[in-house]
Amino acid sequence: MPPTARSVYVDFPEAARLADLQSISYDLLRSRDYVQKYLDIASANFRTNDSSHIDCFTAFAFILYGRCFKGGVRRTTERGLLSAMNEEDRQIHKLIIDLRDKHYAHSVNEMEQHKASIWLNPEEHGRKITSVSIGSHYTIAPDVAFMTNMVILIDRIRAWVITEQKIESKRLKEIAEERFPIDMLYELENSHYKPKRSVDPSKSRKYS
């Protein structure tokens, strides 16, 4: 059997930014995937009996994209993402964030339009009001051109993220070579990372 590379887990606080970059890259990739699913449906002239698929794809695409720009532990890297954009990119980015904040992640928004409808009895049976209901109109998603531009933007900023990941990984390798004795690392070869099975939403994310 050929030799295989292996990894060991150590306490490494300096890896916080690389963790940010990894999670941002993952969110961008998933966002792009959902945009592409929407575009695939659009290319088939929206021939589907289930509009909830379209709504799901667009909502997830905008929410996942927005996660990369909502501050918190990602604040420093967020500034780098914005610096990687040109002026046209920033305009598209602003529209995406506005749609995310004002429509997809908000209970009252212009993607949903509601109007009271008063139902009237047929005149030949006597004029009277029979009931009042709400007539609703839902805008499923922006147009195809906008969503295509979103893919282009995601690809551009994700390319920046991947470059930064390589730079950060190289920096961390140099720190690891100075800090951790090589024999000690090989003694840890059978260590296993145990992810949490549940998450406490009251606690902030930490790195190790």
Per-residue pLDDT of the chain (208 residues; tens, 9 = 90+): 677 777 888 888 999 889 989 999 999 999 999 999 989 888 877 665 556 677 788 888 999 999 898 765 567 788 888 888 999 999 999 999 988 887 765 544 455 566 777 777 888 888 887 887 776 655 556 788 999 999 999 999 999 999 999 999 999 999 999 999 998 888 886 555 555 555 565 565 554 4
Residue keyed to tokens 């409808």: 117
- The residue type of 53 is H
Q: What kind and span of H or E run contains 136? A: strand 129-138
Burial class (CB in 10 A: 0-12, 13-18, 19+), 108: exposed
- The residue type of 112 is E
* CA separation for the pair 126, 43 (Å, rounded): 50
Single pTM value for the model = 0.73
Q: Cβ neighbours of residue 88 under 8 Å, at least 6 residues apart? A: none
**pLDDT (0 to 100) of residue 109:** 45
Query: What are the DSSP E strand ranges found in 3-128?
Result: 112-120
Tokens standing for residue 148: 């295509």
Q: Cβ neighbours of residue 7 under 8 Å, at least 6 residues apart? A: none
**pLDDT (0 to 100) of residue 139:** 53
